[in-house]
Amino acid sequence: METLLTAYEWLTRILDAASLLPNFNTPLGIFCAIAWIGTLVSAIMFVVAFVADMGGSDLDAGSVDGDTGAFSVQAVMGFILGFGWGGYLTVANGAGVGLGIFVGVLVGVMMFFVIAGIMKAIYSLKSDGSLKYESLVGMTGTVYVTIPPHGEPGGQVQVSHPSQLITMAAVQEGDTPLPAQTRIEVVAATTYQLTVRPVSTSTPSQK
């Protein structure tokens, strides 16, 4: 505990000496506080996104739009970051508060659109590389876990997509269960479940 307090005191002294200590009693300190808020929150968001990506979580195409819109959280934090540091550097160099606000808004808007563009490009790449579930319609595969009749849940199928072998939950509207290894065709698909029907494997008799 004493070590943490000592480190905090040294950090406070360094920031104070460099005029980087947030202080809501002066315009420079207010800009500094806004800048640090934007910096810290952006850093936390980056770490969380990095950990989530390392953990294998992903976004499907249907959930991307909310994050790639102009008013995404990342873009808003970019504005706060640009506004804080732009205003701080302007006032720290002897300019008035009015000019500091003007420059801060200008830099903030630039950061807003730059980060919005970057995030849109990143999520677009993720979306392009992710599975389009509707592309599974019409494909064939095999039952992996017996599929109950009448749309009851519990079954699973495996479908050989060109990019990967897909194992997904599946239902069917037939009257009899479809046991494992039954050949099926996908007739409808959502992100979480496929609707399938059995495919006849019999060959026509030769005359």
Residues 102-127: tens digit of each pLDDT: 999 999 999 888 887 777 766 555 54
pLDDT for 11: 54
pLDDT for 161: 75
pTM equals 0.48
More confident residue, 179 or 25: 179
Q: Which residues contact 116 (CB under 8 A, 6 or more apart)?
A: 68, 70, 72, 74, 75, 78
Among 97, 104, 50, which residue's Cα sits nearest to residue 81? Answer: 104
CB 141 within 8 A of CB 130: no
Distance CA(70)–CA(109), nearest Å, equals 11
Distance CA(72)–CA(119), nearest Å, equals 9
Q: Which residues contact 163 (CB under 8 A, 6 or more apart)?
A: 131
Q: Which two tokens stand for residue 36?
A: 């640090």
Distance CA(101)–CA(86), nearest Å, equals 8
